[in-house]
Every structure is written in C-alpha cells, then in structure tokens.
Amino acid sequence: MSLLRIAALRYRVTLEAPIDTPDDAGGYARSFTPVASLWARIAPSGAREDFVEQRAEQATTHIVTIRWRSDVAKDMRFVHRGRELRIQSAFDPDERRRFLICQCEEIS
C-alpha cells in the first residue's frame, strides 16, 4: 500500500453494529446501532450483478480506509450519505495500527 495520509480521510461516516433480536417465528430481526462517527476514505473497487430470488441485484464493492480501531468486525457497516456499506473483511495493511482497510459491499 502506498503511503496514506490522514488528509485522505475526507468523508464522514457512521460505523454501525448489528443487533439481532428474536422474533416469534424462531428467527431474528436485525437492526443496527451507531458505534462511532469516523473520517474515512471511500474508493469504489468493482461491481457485479447477481440473480437473487428471481430478480437482478447489483452489488458494488468499495474499499473504506479508516484510522485503526480494534472493534471493527465483519457484518458491521458504514453509513455514508444514506448509503449502507456492509463490511466483508477488515485488516491492518502494515500491522502498525495506523489504518484499517475494510472491504465493503453495497447492495442496490
């Protein structure tokens, strides 16, 4: 990874964590609660179209870079200007606890 500067984190995003509550049918209902408001760099990385439940669904992938945090996990999400970016994976690129790179997916 090339040198990333803090100034590249230009977008204000909200990090949200999932909360699963049981429903009466034996399943659960998922909602999200805000964890933190962060500065981030958002860069699109690709797109694909899948056929899900007899309809076309487009998924756009993004790379979201934030300052390092220990509490970011898969299935959390970032919300930016009404868009929901679900975290697929998160890693520390140079293992120095400076930045965290998150592979995210936006489904529309």
Rounded mean pLDDT of 11-34? 94
Q: Tell me what pLDDT residue 1 has.
A: 47
Domain assignments of the chain as residue spans, ordered by start: 6-107
Global confidence as pTM: 0.85
Rounded mean pLDDT of 40-48? 93
**Secondary structure (DSSP) of 74-98:** TT-EEEETTEEEEEEEEE-SSSSSS
**Residue 66 near residue 97 (C-beta atoms within 8 A):** no
Tell me the two tokens of residue 67. 């300052």
pLDDT at 58 over 90: no
**Residue 13 near residue 78 (C-beta atoms within 8 A):** yes
Q: Which residue has the higher pLDDT, 51 or 58?
A: 58
Tell me the two tokens of residue 8. 């590249």
Cross-strand bridge partners of residue 19:
31
What is the distance between the alpha carbons of residues 65 and 14, in angstroms, rounded to a whole number? 13
Q: Phi first, then psi: give them for residue 83, nearest 5 degrees.
A: -90, 140
Domain 6-107, classified CATH 2.40.10.270, yes or no: yes
Rounded mean pLDDT of 59-65? 95
